[in-house]
Amino acid sequence: MSKTIKKIGVMTSGGDSPGMNAAIRSVVRACVYHDIECYGIYRGYEGMIEGDFILLNARSVKGIINKGGTILKSARSKEFRTHEGRKKAHEQLTKAGIDALVVIGGDGSFTGAMIFSDEFDYHVIGIPGTIDNDIFGTTHTLGFDTACNTVVDVIDKIRDTASSHNRLFFVEVMGRDAGHIALNVGVGAGAEEILIPEEDLGLDRLLESLRRSKQSGKSSSIVIVAEGDKIGKSVFELKDYVEAHMTEYEVRVSVLGHMQRGGSPSCFDRVLASRMGVKAVESLLEGKNKYMVGLIKDQMSLTPLEKAIKGQSKIDLELLRVSDILTI
């Protein structure tokens, strides 16, 4: 028997990503549409434990669909990893009369949501919000498309100076321990080589690839390095290694860092967020619990949270093959 839901809480948790505000907007307005009260929970689980809630209406979320970041802030909460912390959070939600939760975040946030749901028989639905695109159960997480567009634009700029000085650039991109950003921006920006944790290129093959590029007449090269790459050297150590073994190259390094997490969300991410927010609210109203909303074959779908957390988001082997062919 699903309980009557009259108030829904929405929060953002973990690393922020462009599109989170569009998702918040969609959750709030879907609640208003269904005559449900919607409460924003500030600073993720930390704010939940403190009862840091705000009633939101359709007008509260005006003008944010195009804003990066999250108006509800985000935080990582050590206390929520304890039963006592989760108990405090549950007491705060109960006191506020909030019946169910939409959690916008990554697998760490979903793990907390699932444990919380089990401990307190509390209904939660997850929306995958992270630039890493490393969550099973969706082809796209919120922010991935925007981050790729941001990075491709930056690499185009780096390409200008690399070609002006006949230099080799190592460009490190985010992705925690997944190579989705690196692979997509590497193909999109026409990089000469892409180092991702899912494929152990190895130093010898890297040098061979760079030599081949040079021999084919390329005067400059861009190598994209996923931050989680397992080649065993940091991008700075790679620079030193290549300069020591290939004196014909002048090498520079760019570590893009947190700028990949910012910026106005792309249309794709805004539309994805809008679809996911409505799906999340209506799934809760249908009595669903412990699912993640995802995009599969361009349809909104639900994946059990446990599978989303434990599943592996696989690298696109066809895209990897395209990359190998086009870097000839």
Distance CA 303, CA 82 (A): 26
Distance CA 105, CA 293 (A): 11
Nearest to ligand F6P of 54, 259 (CB atom): 259
Under the criterion CB under 6 A, does residue 176 sit at the interface with ligand F6P? yes
Q: How far apart are the first and last CA of the chain?
A: 60
314: exposed, middle or buried (C-beta count within 10 Å: 0-12, 13-18, 19+)?
exposed
Q: Output the smallest distance, CB 324 to ligand F6P, in A.
A: 24
Exactly one of 107, 132, 172, 193 binds ligand F6P (CB under 6 A); that residue is: 132
Exactly one of 30, 113, 124, 174 binds ligand F6P (CB under 6 A); that residue is: 174
Exactly one of 85, 105, 112, 175 binds ligand F6P (CB under 6 A); that residue is: 175
User: Interface mask (CB under 6 A) for ligand F6P, residues 73-112, using x and -?
Assistant: ---------------------------------x------
Which residues fall within 8 angstroms of residue 33, CB to CB, at 6 or more apart? Answer: none
CB 27 within 8 A of CB 38: yes
Which of 309, 324, 325 lies closest to 106 in space, CA to CA?
309
Under the criterion CB under 6 A, does residue 131 sit at the interface with ligand F6P? yes
Q: Output the smallest distance, CB 46 to ligand F6P, in A.
A: 14
Nearest to ligand F6P of 13, 117 (CB atom): 13
Q: Output the smallest distance, CB 226 to ligand F6P, in A.
A: 9
Distance CA 36, CA 55 (A): 11
Under the criterion CB under 6 A, does residue 158 sit at the interface with ligand F6P? no
- Name residue, tokens 């796209």: 140
Report the catalytic residues.
132
By CB under 6 A, name the binding residues for ligand F6P: 15, 106, 130-132, 174-176, 227, 261
